[in-house]
């Protein structure tokens, strides 16, 4: 095989190409005996010496010759690449080994920037490396935060997490307020709703029991005890039907939804069957059945009926006193003061609290008896209409 050689030798007695063990170029049709190693530059001769590569004009300088041996730079990978050797049987394996070596060394994927990005995504998906908040690898601060804390640091962070006394106090006060609000809500619900439910049930039971006793004759007329029902009050306009019991005790009478009769002590008033006198009654306007809640809507001429074991007593409303102090007991006199009555007669007085949901004042309604009808004659017209 005829190889091309430079015309002169260097100072060490070797030609530049023979020192590397192979000829860089060969005649047409010949294959190189071994692959040519990667060279960053041509061997540097001593000053004054020049080299001439095959086929180059005699005037070529060393720099030009070295430049011809440098491989081209790939703009994509920015890495040196082995120059393509002349055609030959070993060139395919040479190019494959060179590409494999470059790819393993630089970690890049041939095929351009888009192909390398796809390969990088596949490697990231396969290996599943940990990523930070933005999808990249963990930062040093994140790695440090994952390290176990020392005892001192753990205690310090525990003290920082512990609420201050002001926070504890504010929480306690807030809980007290919330508990108080819940209790007040429950109390209002009990007063405005549950007391009415229970009082209506008790008053209805007492009225039915009273009527059953009258029908069966188990109760003698005019015989009753304090707190015991003895009559039934009907106010057709207000759709009120409530038993009348002796006394005005809240616990024994009024809180049970019944109407109380002023029949004890200094406020004792007459019974309906008395020839003259004032039949005084009291009841709740709000809560506990609230029988007298709407008596302020009564007008002159409206009927008030008191039903006893033997008789119906029918009264007609005559006048009203919207507001008076609780100490004004003169409204219960036999001739009530302020009622407009001037002579003895058979009167009825209804008393309750005002304004609504308070007990500061009293509301008074007066009426005069207009009919006394035995039960044997049936119900009066006021209850039939």
Q: Give the model confidence (pLDDT) of 144-203 as tens digits.
A: 556 787 888 888 888 778 888 888 899 899 999 999 999 999 988 888 889 999 999 999
Q: Prior bond to 78 cis, omega within 30?
A: no
Instruction: Judge if 245 and 351 occupy the same domain.
Output: yes
Count structural domains, the chain: 2
Measured CA to CA, the distance from residue 357 to residue 363 in angstroms comes to 13
Secondary structure class of 116 (helix, strand, coil): helix
β 277-282/303-307 pair status:
unpaired
Classify the phi-psi angles of 128: left when phi > 0, otherwise alpha if psi is within -120 to 50, otherwise beta.
Answer: left
Q: Is residue 309 part of a domain?
A: yes
Counting residues of the chain whose pLDDT is more than 70, the rounded percentage is 65
Measured CA to CA, the distance from residue 134 to residue 301 in angstroms comes to 87
The encoded tokens of residue 56 equal: 């180059």
pLDDT, the chain, mean: 76
Task: Decide if 238 contacts 262 (C-beta within 8 A).
Answer: no
pLDDT for the residue 374? 95
Measured CA to CA, the distance from residue 96 to residue 118 in angstroms comes to 22
Q: Does 318 score more than 50 pLDDT?
A: yes
pLDDT for the residue 203? 92
Which element (helix H / strand E) includes 307? strand 303-307
Task: Decide if 335 contacts 313 (C-beta within 8 A).
Answer: no
Measured torsion, CA atoms of residues 41, 43, 48, 52, in degrees rounded to the nearest 10: -80
Set 219, 293, 353, 373: catalytic member: 353
Instruction: Judge if 116 and 205 occupy the same domain.
Output: no
* pTM for this prediction: 0.58
Q: Is residue 219 part of a domain?
A: yes
Using alpha carbons, select from 282, 298, 200 the residue that is nearest to residue 244: 282
Active site residue 284: yes
The model's pLDDT over 187-231, given as tens digits with 9 standing for 90+, comes to: 888 888 899 999 999 999 999 999 999 988 888 877 788 888 999
Instruction: Judge if 260 and 378 occupy the same domain.
Output: yes
Q: Which domain holds residue 252?
A: 199-384
Q: Is residue 12 part of a domain?
A: no
Q: Is residue 67 part of a domain?
A: yes
Q: Does 258 score more than 90 pLDDT?
A: yes
Set 219, 284, 288, 373: catalytic member: 284
Q: Is residue 109 part of a domain?
A: yes
pLDDT for the residue 242? 96
Q: Does 39 score more than 60 pLDDT?
A: no
β 303-307/346-354 pair status:
unpaired
Active site residue 113: no
Set 288, 293, 346, 362: catalytic member: 362
* pLDDT band at 239; cut points 50, 70, 90: very high
Task: Decide if 69 contacts 51 (C-beta within 8 A).
Answer: no
CATH of residue 228's domain is 2.40.260.10
């Amino acid at each position: 095989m005829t190889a091309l050689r430079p015309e002169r030798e260097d100072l060490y007695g070797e030609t530049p190409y023979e020192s590397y063990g192979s000829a860089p170029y060969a005649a047409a049709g010949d294959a190189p005996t071994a692959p040519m190693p990667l060279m960053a530059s041509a061997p540097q001769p001593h000053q004054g010496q020049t080299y001439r590569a095959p086929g180059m004009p005699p005037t070529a300088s060393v720099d030009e010759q070295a430049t011809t041996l440098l491989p081209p730079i790939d703009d994509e990978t920015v890495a040196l690449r082995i120059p393509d050797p002349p055609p030959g049987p070993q060139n395919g394996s040479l190019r494959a080994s060179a590409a494999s070596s470059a790819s393993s060394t630089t970690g890049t994927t041939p095929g351009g920037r888009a192909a390398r990005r796809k390969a990088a995504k596949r490697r990231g998906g396969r290996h599943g490396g940990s990523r930070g908040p933005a999808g990249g690898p963990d930062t040093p601060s994140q790695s440090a935060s994952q390290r176990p804390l020392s005892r001192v640091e753990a205690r310090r962070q525990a003290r920082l997490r512990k609420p201050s006394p002001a926070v504890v106090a504010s929480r306690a006060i807030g809980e007290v307020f919330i508990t108080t609000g819940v209790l007040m809500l429950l109390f209002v619900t009990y007063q405005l709703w549950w007391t009415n439910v229970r009082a209506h049930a008790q008053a209805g039971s007492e009225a039915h029991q009273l009527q059953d006793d009258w029908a069966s004759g188990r109760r003698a007329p005019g015989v009753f005890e304090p707190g015991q029902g003895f009559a039934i009050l009907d106010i057709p306009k207000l759709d009120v039907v409530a038993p009348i019991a002796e006394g005005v005790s809240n616990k024994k009478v009024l809180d049970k939804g019944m109407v109380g009769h002023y029949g004890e002590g200094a406020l004792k008033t007459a019974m309906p069957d008395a020839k003259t006198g004032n039949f005084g009654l009291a009841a709740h306007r709000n809560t506990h059945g609230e029988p007298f809640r709407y008596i302020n809507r009564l007008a002159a001429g409206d009927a008030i009926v008191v039903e006893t074991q033997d008789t119906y007593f029918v009264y007609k409303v005559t006048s009203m006193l919207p507001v008076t102090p609780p100490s004004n007991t003169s409204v219960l006199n036999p001739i009530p003061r302020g009622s407009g009555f001037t002579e003895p007669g058979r009167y009825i007085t209804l008393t309750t609290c005002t304004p609504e949901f308070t007990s500061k004042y009293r509301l008074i309604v007066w009426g005069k008896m207009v009919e006394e009808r035995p039960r044997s004659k049936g119900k009066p017209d006021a209850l039939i209409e």
